Each structure stands twice: as structure tokens, then as C-alpha cells.
Structure 1
């Protein structure tokens, strides 16, 4: 390939159309739209059919439009443009709206759908096709009994995808329709708590939904006490939180407990570019269909440093309650060289706002009192020597311990909630140039030529 400066016959660095589009984070057609509007000038390659663009002018346009595909900040961490979540000053926002306030006033489905579409639909309920649920249940039922919930969810995604002949349609409308059915399908594919099977499909050919109620009656209304907390029992049972509860515990839910679960789901929808979200965006960049995007996210979520972290906090709280105090449990963790679970977050200097919101709701759940006190005792014990604060994993552990849920319940809640976030990022990524997340490897192996290997 000719040198860009030579191709244009100038000394300044010139960029091809493809390179310009990558720098601006737009499609090549948009580059020529900038030219037609006078925002960018181009020069023809002598003897060729393409155009070149002045690199300095491209950079200036990128700064003006904010469309630059940022490569790496001073820290060396990769940066991806996104308009979904902002974390700033120990608070976080969904599309500029305080996420904790949003989750306090709206249900998980309302927040998720608003994040996808920009339109808030009060009382919206996601429903799952009976065919997808049946396939997912059969696939999940074939797994060994010892499999965890994330194993089951990964299998359920594949089974649901196989029943959807439109999964390769990446139009916005098709992706949204698939997302609204996939999330309840995943919930319904999980076995009931205590080993019981999932509930039977509704007679109307769908699973979940409002159980035949009208939209206004199913919605029940919302309130500041937390999404599901203001719903009627019938309305709550029709939402994702109500459908998920019996998969997590055999205990009958009360309204405050459902409020905590529903708010936790809404709070956990997205949290900037966590590892699983980055994996989901890479898959979407390669134009994988939404089910495959969710599969990519679930594969990363299963790591002990990501979605499974709440399970460690659950076991710690259970031990604190068993031993009657936090001090010996904290001491054992530190003696073994293990960090104390549920504390600290690399993105916050103070308390995780998600934990704060859930602790406030858990204070209204009578049976959560002992576990909540144990969590606060852990924080106070560690605070004698460090400035670590509670994170959302500790709050999820209070919910799971106090509700008779297994240790992996927090991971299940995390996975269901974050599915909506992965879909939001997929929708965003489908609007970008394909395969843009293709870093170059820095080869550190032996230099060629090397001899052929011998047996």
C-alpha cells in the first residue's frame, strides 16, 4: 500500500476513508456526509478512485463532535464510547438519570425498556413464548443436578436461540422483541427452589406477563419505596422479580422483600464496561446475534472476580451469624491472605451507591435485621484499619442470607439483571462500524524463521 503522504503528494499525514471513519467512530458514508456539509475536506488520490483526509482536520472534527473512537487514555486502559452509563463522583447514571432514583421509582422491566428505547412505558411486562420456554426447560433439565444457575442460564440461552428463526435479524425492532422475550425465558427455565420444577406455561401460549390482568391493573403503580414495593401482589407476581423469587427460595415473598429484589435487578442492569459487558460488545461488534451476545456475557460473568463475588459475601455473612460476631471471621480472612468479601470497589471512593440503596430497603424487611447487622459489623470491623466501604455484593448477600436463598442467588440476580444491559450495549454496538474492536497483538514469541518442530 502506498504511503498516505506520498499518495497525496504532501508532507502532512493523510488518512484513507476507512481510517477516517475509524478515527471518528462512524460509517464511511458518514465521512462523506461531513464532506458534503463542509465539515471536512478531502483530496483525490492521484490516479486512484479513493480520497484522503488531513489527519489534523479529522482530529479537530472528532473533538468538536465528540465522535472520536478514543484509543487509550494515559492509564493505558481501552476506552469505548457509550451513552448508557456514567459513573462520576461516587454516583452512577443511566443516560444521565440517577440510576438509584430510577430504580427506586420504576420496576426492572420499566427501567430496562427505557434504557433500550428512551421511552418509559408504565406497567410494561416482558413475556416469553411457550416454545422457547419449553426448549430451554428441556435443555436445562438434561444438565447434571450439581450444575449452578449460570450453567443453566447459558444452556437456556442457546436453547431459546434455536427456537427463534429471526435471531439473525439485527434490526432494532427485532432485537427489542427478542430481548423482551429472552429475559423471562431465562427466568422460567430455572428450576424452582428446593429442586421443584418450573411452573407450568400459561394457557395463552406465553409464560410470565401479567397473568391475564389488564396493563393498568398489572402495573399496580409505582412509588418511592422501590419498584416492586408499590405493586399489588398480583402485579408483582407478573413481573420479573415475582417470577424470579420462587426460583431463589422456597419462602413466600412479602412486599418489602420483592421491593428489594426488583430494585436490585434494576440497579444491576448496567455498570459501565465491566468485563462481561466488554465481552458482549466484542461479540456485537462481530455482528453476533443478541442471544450470542448474552452468551458471551454469561461466559465472563461466571468468573470468581465478577458475578460470583456475592456468593463469597453470602458465605461470610452466614459464618458471622453462626459464630456470633464479625471479628473472628474477618481475622480468619486476613490470616489466610484473602480479601474480606463485599468491601471496596475500584470505581468508588465511598460506599457503592447500589449497596446504599439496597441497605435502605433491607432496613424495612424484618427478617433481614440479623444479616443486615452482621454486614454493618463487618464494615465497622474492617474500617478500623482501612477505608473500604460496602459494595453491592454485600447487599445482595444480606438479601440472600435473610431470605433463605443459596449462596449463588446473588449471581443469578446479577445475570438476569445484566442481560438487559448487555442488550443495551449490543444495540449501541450494532450502530457502530463492524469489527472495530480488533486490537493488534504485541508479539513476544521467538523471531522467525524458526526450524520446524520435530517429534
Structure 2
């Protein structure tokens, strides 16, 4: 569109100053239809009608801009591979402990780390809180309750210095794992979690691998919720609570449970289960991914660790029929069936793993200017009218 002679126009820089946003945000407004850019004959760059800019400014509040991109040095998803701070995650999952990988995400240093501490008084407090939950409560429900109570019981929770947050996160994860119902064990997180999940002979390296593989996955919806909370300077317990709230949605944390139930049906009759699923018109649970194009590297690692388990024969059968690759949800579900995990274990593993990632993202947000998240809202209701009564 070219410039009209009877309109006052502003440059991109002038619009950015008027709306108090970055120039990049102006281009996002154009792509969304909030602003119209025009070209002036004989001039370079875009111009914007001042009247349109003022209308946009009048709809805005103190900070009218939306954060279009979140810069993060944590996780890279590239060419169907997953990296934490430049380290290939498939290698970390089979050569490092969960504690060491958590330290990598939190501090940038990959060094050997001991088990996460679990002070007995904190474990007792968390168990007392969990005991109040009804018998129908899932493990993720128990985790949410415990996180809230542990936060209320920590008088130093508002300390946001990096060393304070790292210490609190390690302690929180250690306490949550030990407080869950079941026998208490020592060692890595995988060794401590196994008796909470299964009565079968322990293979803690599986759980250690799962926790590493699922610790972070970029800006997933629960991670964005955690970052928004952190940017408002919420303490770590509140950040984790925000992440757990988003994780509880049917499109996020529940995916593992849905894959588990579908695999349960296929173990009885693969053809019938797949036929029923295809007839429903819904996607086959545990297959494909919005980011990965040809493979999910997390699933590949878990399937390699489960190579001798009969459940993989069923996975291979339905994979051949579906025609696309299985994702981490199906891999975790296969592990759960192979070792008779309780049905809600997958979601709990996902939640505990993501606390590691949410903490890392919170540390990044604590270093950013506060309250930088404010999306532009366009009012679509009726025009305001004076009260003539």
C-alpha cells in the first residue's frame, strides 16, 4: 500500500517509541492485522498512519506490547534431536545422572552431583499434606498439594538469588520423591522413585533416563506458564505450581496416560484397538509430534533400553500399521506396561522431570526485567456509552 497525501505517518522507530515496544513487535502487529504498513514514494522503510497508531495506543495499557520471542540458552530442538546447553540429550540420558543433568540446566556446568537432599522434617510435612488427599487423588494431585504446603513451610522461599533457587529446587525434588507413598530407597532419583512406581525388580536406570529425557522441551505450554510466574517474581514453589497447573491439561500432561490406556487395549488385541481408534477419527495416541518430523529421539532412547521387553513387539505391530513414528508418550507407556507401573505413574514422572526444566527457565526469567509479559489485548465488546439515566 502506498502513502496517502492527506494522512500523517510515522516511521517504525516513532511507532515503537509511541507504543513503548521494540521494532520487532511492530512487525508482529502488522502480521496480526493490528497495524497497516505503507510505502512512501522515494523513501525506504515502512510508514504507519498516525491515527491508526493512536487507536492502537488507546486500547493499550501501561505495557501494550506482547513478547514475541523468549531468548533461552537451555534447550535446542534441531534436526529431530534434542540438546541441553549444547549437549546431546540421548547421550546424557545414558551416561549421566539426573542430578548432574539438572545441575547442567540450572548452572551451565556438567559435573558429578550427589543425591538431592530430603530433610526429614520436610518429608514429614509433605507426607502429612498428601495424606489429606482423597484416595482417588492421582500422584500428580499429591505432588501439587505437597508443593503448595512445602512452599508455605519455607520461610526463605522469597530468596531469588540463583544459588538459593538451585538449592531450593534440589531439595524440593528430593523431598517430593521421598514423600510419595511407597517404600523409601536411597541413591539416584531413579532408585528412589522405583518402589513408588512398581513392585517389580528395580531397573532405576530406566527412570533416570526418563527424567533426563523429559526434563525440558523448550517453550511448552507449562514452561511458558512457569516463566510468566517467574517473571512476576513468584517464588520457586509458585513457579512449580504454575507449571503443574498447565501440565494438568488434557493436551499436555495427560498424553502419557492416554497412550498408556491405548497400549493396554492393543496388548489385548492390536487390530481391534487400532480399528476402534481409527474409527473414532481421533489421532492414534503416542504417535507423531508437532516438532519432530521423522523421529522422537527420546522415544528411541527408551525403546533401546527396553529392547528385550515383549511389549515392544506390540509397539512395532501398531507402528507398522499407523505409518508414522512413536513418540515419548508411547515409549513411557511401554515402560509402564513392561514393569507393571501404576497407571498414573507416567504423569507423575513427567511432572517431576519438568520441575528440573521449570527451575532452569525460572532462573533465566529472574535475570530479566520484571513484568515483561503483557500481551496486546484488542477489545471486541460493545462501545462504552455514558449513563444517561
Give me the TM-score of the superposition, normalised by structure 1: 0.71
Q: Residue 287 of structure 1 corresponds to which residue in structure 2?
A: 233
Q: Residue 275 of structure 2 corresponds to which residue in structure 1?
A: 331
Residue pairs, 1:15-414, within 5 angstroms: 19=20, 78-192=68-182, 199=184, 237-253=186-202, 257-323=203-269, 326-363=270-307, 366=308, 369-383=309-323, 388-414=324-350
| Alpha-carbon distance between aligned partners in 1 of 2:15 and 2:325, rounded to the nearest angstrom | 50
Q: Residue 32 of structure 1 corresponds to which residue in structure 2?
A: none
Q: More relative contact order in 1 or in 2 (CA 8 Å, sep 6+)? A: 2
TM-fit CA distance, 1:310:
0.9
Question: Does the CA-based 8 Å contact 1:131-1:163 persist in structure 2?
Answer: no
| Alpha-carbon distance between aligned partners in 2 of 1:281 and 1:85, rounded to the nearest angstrom | 14
How many equivalent pairs are there? Answer: 342
Match of 1:440 among 348, 371, 376: 376
Mark the runs of 5 or more structure 1 residues left unpaired by the alignment.
1-9, 26-54, 57-70, 193-197, 200-207, 209-236
| Alpha-carbon distance between aligned partners in 1 of 2:148 and 2:13, rounded to the nearest angstrom | 51
TM-fit CA distance, 1:13:
2.3
TM-fit CA distance, 1:179:
0.6
Match of 1:421 among 357, 365, 369: 357
Q: Residue 34 of structure 1 corresponds to which residue in structure 2?
A: none
| Alpha-carbon distance between aligned partners in 2 of 1:327 and 1:245, rounded to the nearest angstrom | 32
* CA 358–180 in structure 1, closer or farther in 2 if over 3 Å, else same: same
Q: Residue 14 of structure 2 corresponds to which residue in structure 1?
A: 13
TM-fit CA distance, 1:270:
0.3
TM-fit CA distance, 1:434:
0.5
Question: Does the CA-based 8 Å contact 2:226-2:358 persist in structure 1?
Answer: yes
Aligned structure 1 segments of 4 or more residues deviating by more than 2 angstroms: 10-20, 22-25
Question: Does the CA-based 8 Å contact 2:119-2:175 persist in structure 1?
Answer: yes
| Alpha-carbon distance between aligned partners in 1 of 2:295 and 2:343, rounded to the nearest angstrom | 23
Mark the runs of 5 or more structure 2 residues left unpaired by the alignment.
1-10, 26-44, 47-64
Question: Does the CA-based 8 Å contact 1:317-1:371 persist in structure 2?
Answer: no
